[in-house]
Chain A
């Protein structure tokens, strides 16, 4: 689509290339004619035509423009399109249907699953509270984990060697310690440091507080999950940032866009495209990962069903209750992830 500028040629005359004017090697303001020539042939062609003089016949021999070819051919009849059939798909569907039916039958007909007990406890208040608590722990772990993880990722990408090696050390350390051990450390922090004081490092303290009061079991659990998650989140965010074309940062810098704005408006949204799918994995992993917290006797879902089946002995039914809730939670999150991915896929469709 040619652009029209007032004052610069622009008629759609179809004169042959042999009349292409030699671009005048004079002041640019009198250049309208060769602009027009260029628009049709490109600069190199204009030069060829004007420089050698031998380009014109070559142009004349070029294939004719639209119209002629069409007239030469007979009118084709309207053709019907038949899409490829996929008989294999029907076979696969049948096999899967049979397998599903077998699983369903095994689940329903075996009285050992005690479906009525499942129904009784699925919406029991204590179970619902446990589900909510599980979600809370997940949210705390993810939000603080990704906040800290983003900071760590930026530190690792920093040119300051101290910052980047500090982040590297953190990630190496927290990825190596099993979550369950870390949780136990936090839980038992009070044994190691009964009181925590706040003030000038190695100097006077402004106030101090009992560790137990500050880091109760819930805080310890959330802290442990977040710190653990941060190590993984850092690598996910870093990979995301690296996946954004260097030219994006450069263009933003060339436009003088402030640094934080470059990150938040230009780089991170593009990084999200590769961060979200992996982060979704992490969140879903963490929903289930919270079950580790049961060792701290916190009433999350897995701990709660254990409490109940220790009381009534209906082990399988209650494990099924927990399974169903984990399934529901992760499925809802998968759907949410789909929409988030679509949001960050804007302009890429």
Chain B
């Protein structure tokens, strides 16, 4: 077993005849932040979604904290786990969506406490206290009994982050967490993500915010056409890209 918190090996994934992931290897160490950049349609979201088995891989393996995700290994065969087992694994893998996907009929508090109580069966009192702490951490103590509709996009995304944190996951996956936000709201969400990075949370972040990547990432990964083209420190990939495609992409987004 490798020491990596997240370990993807030769991950392949096709949608029909369209091969979206063409053999992706990716290791993320505990406490590290990996930022994935790349053009639209390069397979970034799909890759992220294989990590918590929202997307099944066609071949290859995904391991989180030494545990194979979505499958059980017997010899050289992988048997898909039952849905219940997969749901259990997902409680240790946080996911933050581009479109927030808060539950609109539940209050902010209920959004945060739902999964810890129903999926992890933790005591209600403990979870309530946790929710209060987390909402304070993302700066939303005063919105605890509001409904998502009553919040700005940035506030909603911060609730979504608190909701993911409430499960105390080993790794959090962010799929373009600020792409649906008005420009002036981007900063408040990135501040929260950055705070998590500083506190040592393992994260994989897909984003087009190059400035954020430069500052927060331990590793920047550039993806194109279902492959990882280039990876390295932010300085290596963003300031001195070795590949022409990386250079071309960066020249467009900068």
Is B107 located at the chain interface by the 8 A CB criterion? Answer: yes
Is B216 located at the chain interface by the 8 A CB criterion? Answer: yes
Chain A, interface size: which category? 35 or more
What chain B residues lie within 8 Å of A72 (beta carbons)?
none
Question: Known contacts A3-B188, A39-B191; is A28 also within 8 Å of B138 by CB?
Answer: no
**Contact stretch, chosen from A111-119, A246-254, A282-290, A298-306:** A246-254
**Contact stretch, chosen from A29-37, A62-70, A221-229, A313-321:** A29-37
Q: How far is the CB of A217 from chain B (nearest CB, A)?
A: 42
Is B16 located at the chain interface by the 8 A CB criterion? Answer: no
Query: Do residues A25 and B104 form an inter-chain contact, with CB atoms below 8 A?
Result: no
- Count chain B residues whose beta carbon lies closer than 8 angstroms to a beta carbon of A: 62
Query: Do residues B167 and A248 form an inter-chain contact, with CB atoms below 8 A?
Result: no
**Contact stretch, chosen from A83-91, A124-132, A138-146, A264-272:** A264-272
Is A194 located at the chain interface by the 8 A CB criterion? Answer: no
Most chain B beta-carbon contacts within 10 A, residue among A1, A250, A348 = A1
Query: Do residues A255 and B90 form an inter-chain contact, with CB atoms below 8 A?
Result: yes
Query: Do residues A270 and B184 form an inter-chain contact, with CB atoms below 8 A?
Result: no
What chain A residues lie within 8 Å of B187 (beta carbons)?
2, 38-40, 42-43
Q: Give bound CA distance, A34 to B102, whole Å.
A: 30
Nearest neighbor of B234 in chain A, beta-carbon distance:
A25
Query: Do residues A257 and B118 form an inter-chain contact, with CB atoms below 8 A?
Result: yes
Nearest neighbor of A246 in chain B, beta-carbon distance:
B101
Pick from A4, A38, A266: contact of B211, CB under 8 Å = A38
Contact residues of A: prevailing secondary structure: helix
What chain B residues lie within 8 Å of A237 (beta carbons)?
none
Is B222 located at the chain interface by the 8 A CB criterion? Answer: no
**Contact stretch, chosen from A44-52, A92-100, A174-182:** A44-52
> Which B residues contact A (CB, under 8 angstroms)?
33, 52, 54, 83-84, 87-91, 93, 95, 97, 99, 101-107, 114-115, 118-120, 138-139, 147-149, 155, 158, 163-164, 167, 183-184, 186-188, 190-192, 194-195, 197-198, 209-212, 214-218, 234-235, 238-239, 254
What chain B residues lie within 8 Å of A35 (beta carbons)?
191, 194, 215
Is A53 located at the chain interface by the 8 A CB criterion? Answer: no
What chain B residues lie within 8 Å of A42 (beta carbons)?
183-184, 186-187
Pick from B33, B87, B101, B120: contact of A28, CB under 8 Å = B33
